[in-house]
Chain A
């Protein structure tokens, strides 16, 4: 179906393909690419750094839950209520650090925000998963968990603007 050598259209398409190597991008495009490249500091180059930052943030968050859960298990049922406050603080601190790490990356590497949006989405999904797992394991009300996380997200964003 695609190798009919008698087809004049195919001949013209093949000629067009052969000419492709002669295509030249305008100089202004290189200037734009070069300007973007110059804006990317060495520390921001390499996609693995985004992954490390996100993983570190998620680990921090998970660590907050784990610490809170261990504290709660160590105490009696009556003392759990008193442990809710430090656990909330741990969630706040962990999620704040995660968001700050993401925002710092976005600020440094602002060439294509869409790329960072993708990382941010992944991070927020991970954050949600950790919250879900943590709240199932830890005797803290879901509403309190989400309120604490939302508060720290808002505070982190507000502080950076």
Chain B
């Protein structure tokens, strides 16, 4: 049984990390609803495993790993594979993100949201989450070369989309 102190520590972890994880998951899924569902799922999975969490590792890294697993499961859902990119993206993606991150660069968020999903995932994980290319490749099940090529193409597309 988990004590009140344990529960308070878990709530503190939520307060510290939920915003950042929600932002990442919304950007990855292109949807506020899916982002919120995955954030909720992440913390429920975290709570289930909380008693076995070792304080020698960083709680933020631990919960981030759980979030990435939840996202990987989301990607594997059969219904997800039949959706095309246009269906996955909220119409007002920038506005959606701005709701949890006021002052964000809405134009850039919109342009990222319009990228094909695989490319968007690479951009979010590498540029916005700071994940090394080889880790992104492992996470997305691609080669490092493919991810580098996707990042290069994505930057070209973003440059084109944001041309004044």
Tell me what chain A mostly uses at the interface: helix, strand, loop, or mixed: helix
Contact B105 A16 (CB under 8 A): yes
Contact A47 B127 (CB under 8 A): no
Interchain CA distance A48-B7 in the complex, whole Å? 20
Residues A33 and B14 in contact in the complex (CB < 8 Å), given A2-B148, A23-B19, A23-B23: yes
Asked whether B39 lies within 8 Å of A25 as measured between CB atoms, the reply is yes
For B32, give the chain A residue with the smallest CB separation: A26
CB distance from B55 to the nearest CB of A (A): 17
- Whether B51 and A45, one on each chain, are in contact in the complex, defined by CB atoms closer than 8 angstroms, is yes
Within 36-78 of A, Cβ neighbours of B (below 8 Å) are at 36-37, 40, 42, 45-48
Once bound together, how far apart are the Cα atoms of A113 and B49, in whole Å?
A: 17
CB distance from A24 to the nearest CB of B (A): 4
- Let me know if B130 and A9 touch, CB within 8 A: no
Q: Is A21 part of the binding interface, using a Cβ–Cβ cutoff of 8 Å?
A: yes
Contact of B41 among A1, A2, A17, A112 (CB under 8 A): A112
Asked if A14 is at the interface of the complex by the 8 Å CB criterion, the answer is yes
Given contacts A29-B39, A45-B48, A47-B48, contact A17 B105 (CB under 8 A): no
With a cutoff of 8 Å between Cβ atoms, the chain B residues found around residue A17 in the complex are 127-130
Minimum Cβ distance to chain A for residue B101 (Å)? 5
Interface check B61, CB cutoff 8 A: no
Nearest-neighbour CB distance to chain B for A28, whole angstroms, equals 9
On chain A, the number of residues with a Cβ less than 8 Å from chain B's Cβ atoms is: 36
Q: How far is the CA of A1 from the CA of B103 in the complex (A)?
A: 29
Bound-state CA distance A15–B109 (Å) is 12
The residue of chain A having its C-beta at the shortest distance from the C-beta of B43 within the complex is A33
Residue numbers in B under 8 Å from A107 (CB-CB): none
Which residues in A have their C-beta under 8 angstroms from that of B80? none
How distant is the Cα of A1 from the Cα of B44 in the complex, in angstroms?
Answer: 38
Which of A2, A25, A36 meets B126, CB within 8 Å?
A: A2
B115 to chain A minimum Cβ distance, whole angstroms, is: 12
| Separation of A16 and B162 alpha carbons in the complex (Å) | 15
- Partner of B51 from the list A30, A34, A46 (CB cut-off 8 Å) is A46
Decide if A25 touches B100 in the complex (CB within 8 Å): yes
21 CB < 8 A contacts A-B = A1-B148, A2-B151, A9-B162, A13-B123, A13-B128, A20-B128, A20-B129, A21-B20, A22-B19, A22-B101, A23-B101, A25-B21, A29-B22, A33-B18, A33-B44, A36-B40, A37-B10, A40-B44, A46-B51, A46-B52, A111-B44
Chain A residues engaging chain B, CB cutoff 8 angstroms? 1-2, 7-10, 12-17, 19-26, 29-30, 32-34, 36-37, 40, 42, 45-48, 111-112, 115
Assuming A25-B39, A42-B2, what are 17 further A-B pairs, CB within 8 angstroms?
Answer: A1-B151, A2-B126, A2-B133, A9-B155, A15-B105, A19-B101, A20-B128, A22-B103, A23-B19, A25-B100, A26-B99, A29-B18, A34-B11, A42-B1, A45-B2, A46-B49, A115-B45
